Amino acid sequence: MNLPRLLYVDVPFEHESGGDKNRSRFLWHTLSGAFDTDLLLIAPSQSVTGRPLFTDFKPVLRLPPVRGPWHQSDSVFAFGPLELDAFRELLTDRRYDAVFTRFHSPWALALAASAHATRPAVIVDLDMVSSRLVGLTWQQAPSFKNRWFFFEKLKLARLEKQLVRQPFLVLFSNPVELADIRGRVAPTPSPARLAVLPNVMPPPPKPGPVTPQPAILFFGSMNSGANTDAFRFLVESLLPLLDADLRRHDVKLHIVGKNPPPWFAELLEKSMSDRVLLVGGVDSMERAIAESRFVFLPLRVASGTRTRILEAAALGKAVVTTTIGAEGIEVGEDALIADTPTALATAVRQLLDNPAQAETLGRRLREHCVARYSEPRVAGDLVREVSDFIASRSANPHFPAHRTGHRLFQRPSPHPHLQISHCGSDVALGSFRDLADDRDRSVPAPGEEGREEPVFRWLEADRLKAGLEAFR
């Protein structure tokens, strides 16, 4: 029996770290194990970080993105005609049953696949509702200086509205966000199929010999809008309530994660407290989690689900977080949830005073998450969902396809010397020079001094009105 043929579309993830890359690796391994799967990477020909783009996960095609039009979200890739032609040729040669894209970023490729003569099923792992993330960031610090977040929210909301009007399978990691999109944005009936695919709990790590540290851990990529807001909230609102307790127990809050902005240190200096240690990036996040007493995630801005809770649970560590911080993960009573500064400080104080309770909560959280978010269980759900969707498309040859009525993404390529070479049925893009930009797609933080924000182009009044109507 021939396996369905599937094309998986993502940015490089093999040598990258972070919760989103963990999800990418899980998706790739699961899909490539269950289907005849090819990999398409959206990336320049050379790594700008020094790490190899891939070693074991060989792409059948690599497409370089170009800068998109001003009215398109910064998180959405654009491609020139040459790149889109190479993609269409790949679809023609390989005749995929499905094209699976990671996030909304490859939107142009999803539309091109849906309109292609071979009619593959299109599956979009939306994962998180990005308009919500930037919208919450804007709400925390609305100002002319941070106007980028307001307009980015409008652009993303419009894209998400278009997405659920296509005959795609759209996967969410957070059931709360799925329900919101279904009730607020999706038409009735909707041509899209919306489903939940939770993040998976990582396998039990082996950090080696662990020396417990007198530390409470807050970790993540520190240049994201969610974490910069959480850091400011922690230092300005929570630290004054906890400083005396931290001193009494001789414990510090460790801030662990790459790319902390310079103003982190400045804010700590103003706090006049020595109870916060800005660690920065580490070689092993598993070790940092294992050595801590418990994990503290005071998030006010978030979207999708926090894989950090699952990482902490894998090592049996208790978690103190907010309602939005735990959203999308069924933690029951096995994590301490609070939202006000006073309630969060009380929860932290509770675990400081009762180490045995912290150990009990960590053990119960691990058992709870293993039962619900283990890799075999979620992988089985993914394979069934994808298989059912492909089968439903095959059974209905008249399933509506997307009709391209504009050329929004078909901009002239700035790399006319880009060459395409054919190797059997595989298509490979050759090297190119002078890539215009390799944008950092993490959401920048509001209120940062000296931050370079995207070029802002004033909207005409009628376009702004149309954008506001789309968001509503």
344-378 pLDDT, tens digit per residue, is 999 999 999 999 999 999 999 999 999 999 999 99
Q: Which of 330, 349, 373 is the last residue of a domain?
A: 373
Q: For position 140, what pLDDT does the model report?
A: 85
The mean pLDDT value for 393-409 works out to 52
Lowest mean pLDDT among 41-50, 76-85, 239-248, 338-347: 41-50
422: left (phi over 0), alpha (psi -120 to 50) or beta: beta
Predicted local distance difference test score (pLDDT) of residue 394: 76
pLDDT for residue 434: 29
Considering the domain architecture, whether residues 88 and 166 belong to the same structural domain is answered as: yes
93 and 108 in a common domain: yes
Q: According to the model, what pLDDT value does residue 247 have?
A: 96
Residue 104 covered by a domain: yes
Radius of gyration (C-alpha) of the chain in whole angstroms: 23
Q: State which of 342, 373, 404 marks the end of a domain.
A: 373
Q: What is the pLDDT of residues 317-353, one digit of tens each?
A: 999 999 999 998 888 889 999 999 999 999 999 999 9
φ, ψ at 346 (rounded to 5°):
-65, -40
The answer to the question of residue 208 being in a domain is no
Angstrom distance (rounded) from CA 417 to CA 394: 39
User: Helix and strand tally (H, E) in the chain?
Assistant: 16, 15
| pLDDT class of 187 with cuts at 50, 70, 90 | confident
Residue with tokens 């990999």: 39
Cα 127 to Cα 103: distance, rounded to the nearest angstrom: 6
* In a shared domain, residues 278 and 350: yes
Question: Among residues of the chain, what percentage have pLDDT more than 90?
Answer: 60
Is pLDDT above 90 for 89? yes
Pair 322, 346 in one domain: yes
Tokens of 234: 């922690």
| Residue 190: pLDDT over 90 | no
Please indicate, yes or no, whether residues 334 and 429 belong to a single structural domain of this protein: no
Are 466 and 350 within one domain?
no
Is residue 277 located within the same domain as residue 317? yes
Residue-wise pLDDT tens digits, 416-429:
333 333 333 333 33
pLDDT above 80 (res 250)? yes
Same-domain pairing of 59 and 189: yes
Backbone φ and ψ for 281, nearest 5 degrees, come out as -75, 150
Q: Would you state the pLDDT for residue 457?
A: 31
Rounded Cα distance, 305 and 175, in Å: 9
Q: If we measure between CA atoms, which residue out of 73, 80, 127, 125 comes closest to residue 99?
A: 125
Ranges 61-70, 82-91, 267-276, 406-415: which has the least confidence: 406-415
pLDDT of residue 399: 59
Helix, strand, coil shares of the chain, percent, nearest 5, are: 40, 15, 45
Where residue 264 sits, what CATH number does that domain have? 3.40.50.2000
| Rounded Cα gap, residues 456 and 208, in angstroms | 49
pLDDT for 51: 65
Q: Which domain holds residue 341?
A: 215-373
Q: How far apart, in Å, are the Cα atoms of 327 and each of 303, 321, 443?
A: 8, 10, 20
Task: Report the relative pairing of strands 121-127 and 98-102 from DSSP bridges.
Answer: parallel
The total of structural domains in the chain comes to 2
Instruction: Yes or no: say if 308 and 285 are a contact pair by the CB < 8 Å rule.
Output: no
Q: Which of the listed residues 333, 357, 373 is the one where a domain comes to its end?
A: 373
**Alpha-helix runs per DSSP H in 236-284:** 239-248, 262-271
With residue 70 as reference, give the H or E element that holds it.
none
Indicate whether 181 and 310 sit together in one domain. Answer: no
Q: Is the dihedral of CA 354, 356, 359, 363 positive or negative?
A: negative
* 3-state SS assignment for residue 232: helix
For residue 192, pLDDT beyond 80: yes
When mean pLDDT is compared across 7-21, 133-147, 170-184, the lowest value belongs to: 7-21
Percent of all residues in the chain with a pLDDT value above 70, rounded to a whole number: 81
Contacts of 26 by beta carbon, 8 Å cutoff, 6+ apart: 200, 375, 378, 379
With respect to residue 101, please indicate whether it lies within any of the assigned structural domains.
yes
**Is residue 299 pLDDT above 60, yes or no?**
yes
Q: Give start and end residues of each alpha helix (H) in 215-261.
A: 225-233, 239-248
Closest alpha carbon to 164 in 129, 210, 215: 129
Residue 141's pLDDT band (cuts 50, 70, 90): confident
pLDDT value of residue 223: 87
Query: Do 354 and 420 fall within a single domain?
Result: no
407 pLDDT more than 80: no
- Asked if residue 158 and residue 108 are part of one domain, the reply reads yes
Residue 205 resides in a domain: no
**pLDDT above 90: residue 446:** no
Same domain flag for 351 and 389: no
| Residue 14 lies inside a defined structural domain of this protein | yes
Residue 82 has pLDDT above 90, yes or no: yes
420-423/426-429 β-pairing: antiparallel
How high is the pLDDT of residue 324? Answer: 92
Q: Which amino acid is at 197?
A: L
Q: Could you tell me if residue 328 is inside a domain?
A: yes
